A and B are shown apart, each in its own frame.
Chain A
Amino acid sequence: MIFNSYTFIVFFIIILVLHNLPFSWKVKKINLLLASYIFYAAWNPPFILLLWLSTVIDYFVGRALYNQENVAKKRLLLVVSLIGNLGMLCFFKYGTFLLENFTSLVNLMGADFHPAKPNIILPAGISFYTFTTLCYTIDMYKKESKPVKSLLDFSLFVTFFPHLVAGPIVRPPQLVPQFEIERKATKKQLYDGLLLLSLGLFMKVVLADSMLAAPANDMFGSQGAVTALDAWTGVLAFCGQIFFDFAGYSTCAIGVALCLGFILPQNFNYPYAAIGFSDFWRRWHITLSLWLRDYLYIPLGGNRKGNVRTYVNLMLTMLIGGLWHGANWTFVVWGGLHGFYLWVEKFIDDKTGRITALVSSHKKTIAGFIYALFTFFLINITWVFFRANTFTKAGDILKSMFGMQKGEPLLSTLAIIKVAVIIPVMLLFHWIMRNTKVLDAAYKIPWWLLGIVWAVLLLLLIWSQESSSSFIYFQF
């Protein structure tokens, strides 16, 4: 089920009513769990079995990991959990990719190997819930938090529908304690939640789908070479589309959870106002960045093992982060480019300390703004690899962007105007809001203005009539 569908509206109203009826807390939790399974099964019912398998294995293995004192047995249990979780992820997400690469490799070595192409369907959100369960078992192994007391609470932690399929990626201490005591949204939380849900849907449906998806899809799907204007318009459209799509989903998820009285972690913080790349990764898909930092970068040694290892760890983390997004080498290159930017930035910052000074200053300076624009420019280069299906296509687009080839006009004037209006406004908005939160800003305006802005968001949402396209990050 997706948030921007009629089905979800009906589903959410029923859940909201059930959650506010005078049932016991346990019954309410069972309701939420069943609702979460329905939410997930509404895509592809058989895949619910994978979710159950992952939940049950990690619940029992997690407990055993926490209580086991024998180091060898403890390691064995961790390996079982890692194989279970990562094995499923590898099979469903990377099975075809691995086979294709293996085939290419053996054919390159002279063999004549042409296996049938497997038809593997990717279960929605598998990358997200795998990371959620993985962090639990690793925490149990390291005894960083206590085991979840009941299977019901653990199942709800893994499956809670607002975060299940596209995050935010939650850690056990962030969510499990919220299931232990009865929760019901306060009136203020309900309003905040509904406001965030409206904003998230507006970002997804109006801006991402109705305004930006078509120019991005047309440009990245074009057959021949395009002009520099078309190439830049398409790339900027995608940079806006992916932000509004994914940040819109996260905003909806946080809003929906808040309507039920639960608090999910923030996932985006005006990333296009980032001053530099370290800052960008503190603002873009925050819960994934933190996950990669805590469960990959730091275990690899982080910055504790000298400068060279720091650079290697940084690059490895970004390459794996790239691959997490999709089974294609273009995603690896996307991660690699970010790793390279982080290298250069770290090198300069280690020598001068100026970037840290710019980022840590809460004042918005001209230098900061210029560096933020430069960061935005370089991030757009990375989006080319993220969105293009092949390196040939990515190369073609980059050549067009930098005037290295001539092409045919592709996008309509209206499409160009849409991008030319939305992207600068988005950038300006990110810069103005850089150090604040959207709800804080909403509370500062008069109530009547908030009411009108809220109504405009909803009216544009209804008038756009884009009701059912999937979120881009579901495929990850």
Chain B
Amino acid sequence: MPTANLSKAALLMLFVVVVSLISWEYFWRHKGFGIAYNDDEGLWAKNRADVYQPLDKATVFIGSSRIKFDLDIPTWETTTGENVVQLALHGSCPRGALVDLGNDENFKGKLIIDITEGLYFGGWEDQRIKNRVKFYNDATPAERVSAKVGFGLESQFVFIDKELFSMSALLADLRIADRKGMRPDGIFPKKFSYTNFRRQETMTDEFAKDTAMQRQVTNLWSMWGAHSKDHGITGDTLQKIFTEAQTAVSKIKARGGKVIFVRTPSSGVYWENEPISHPRAEYYDKLVSVTNCTGIHFMDYPELKNFTCPEWSHLTHADAILYTKGLIKILEGQNWFAKRN
């Protein structure tokens, strides 16, 4: 092929690529989607690097998805004048993050651990948290630079969102029926929530209003065991979890750090069954007691107990603001904030 024709082919390629990407971006924006970030290892590690702020400057949060939805970072930061470092991860067991912070000699700050009993006392090693801790500790210089370039692109383009708009995600949206005996993959509505650069997960207003989408999510929770009344783990496995938490918390406290446990609200079928599968006295209360920490259970405080989660597990954005205000008020009573006490 003559070089002139190769030039023409390259120009045509460039034209098609640029036009297609602009159209693709416009299409998703037109559908009502905004800028969001991939909640991947790079974003977690970027936030993990912020945990070394002094005791009077920041609070680190670990947990599962509930605290990511329920804690409104702007409300916290404007009200308290202190920063939030959000390290919770949806669908994960935060024990790996607690052990990581416990072993980090340089972490001497304030830590709030959100407990979702089914996940915290699940009894498995959470590979996703492990991967994030490993990325924070061992990422190559190239991986760190790539993550930063990725943040820059994600801050500009809606379509760069692996969970929603990657080829795999779009193929999964075809919802091809699986064979008998298989546990289907969970596909959340695209408008369920979005993650920002500080790793806050926000429920969209459309989702908060749309009962069909809410039912789609509650169906997923049901499929994954929300209706289960089976008693959680017991015996040595449970004892190991208590001992592990006790060790990590002691290390943090010995360095001058502070630790508090919270139990964020759940409702509907989840709240009907969680106290049966994981009785409070055997799990949450015992964890708080063996670690010699304070616990803030939503049922113990009038300002926290009356929320309703539209899909049984997470608060709407409006309620997250109220929950955060309520939590701050309770924490003030615990002398959590240096400046405000």
Contacts and interface: CB of A to CB of B under 8 A. Distances in A.
A210 B168 contact: yes
B223 to A, nearest CB: 15
B160 interface: yes
Given A194-B10, A464-B167, A467-B150, A413 B17 contact: no
B280 to A, nearest CB: 33
B178 A413 contact: yes
A44 interface: yes
Interface string B234-268: 00000000000000000000000000000000000
Contact of B17 (A9, A188, A458): A458
B169 to A, nearest CB: 8
A447 B17 contact: no
Contact of A413 (B24, B165, B179): B179
Contacts of B16: 451-452, 455, 459
B141 A451 contact: no
Interface residues of B, number: 47
Given A409-B180, A459-B17, A460-B167, A443 B185 contact: no
A450 B149 contact: no
Contacts of B171: 414, 418
Query: What does DSSP make chain B's interface, helix, strand, loop or mixed?
Result: helix
Given A465-B167, A466-B166, A44 B150 contact: no
A191 B7 contact: yes
B142 A191 contact: no
A30 B10 CA distance: 31
B167 A42 contact: no
A464 B168 contact: yes
A10 B142 CA distance: 11
Interface in A450-476: 450-452, 454-455, 458-460, 462-468
Contacts of A194: 10
The winner among A7, A443, A452, A466 for most chain B CB atoms within 10 A is: A7
| Interface size range on A against B | 35 or more
Given A7-B149, A467-B150, A451 B142 contact: no
B178 A412 contact: yes
Contacts of A308: none
Given A412-B182, A413-B177, A460-B167, A191 B10 contact: yes
Given A2-B142, A210-B168, A465-B165, A458 B13 contact: yes
Interface of B: 1, 3, 5-14, 16-17, 20-21, 24, 140-143, 145-146, 149-150, 153, 159-162, 165-168, 170-172, 174, 176-182, 184-185
12 contacts: A42-B145, A45-B141, A191-B3, A210-B167, A210-B168, A409-B179, A414-B176, A444-B1, A454-B10, A455-B13, A463-B24, A464-B166
Interface of A: 1-2, 5-10, 41-45, 186-188, 191-192, 194, 206, 210, 214, 408-410, 412-414, 417-418, 442-444, 447-448, 450-452, 454-455, 458-460, 462-468
Those 3 A-B pairs whose CB atoms lie nearest each other, nearest first = A451-B12, A42-B142, A455-B16
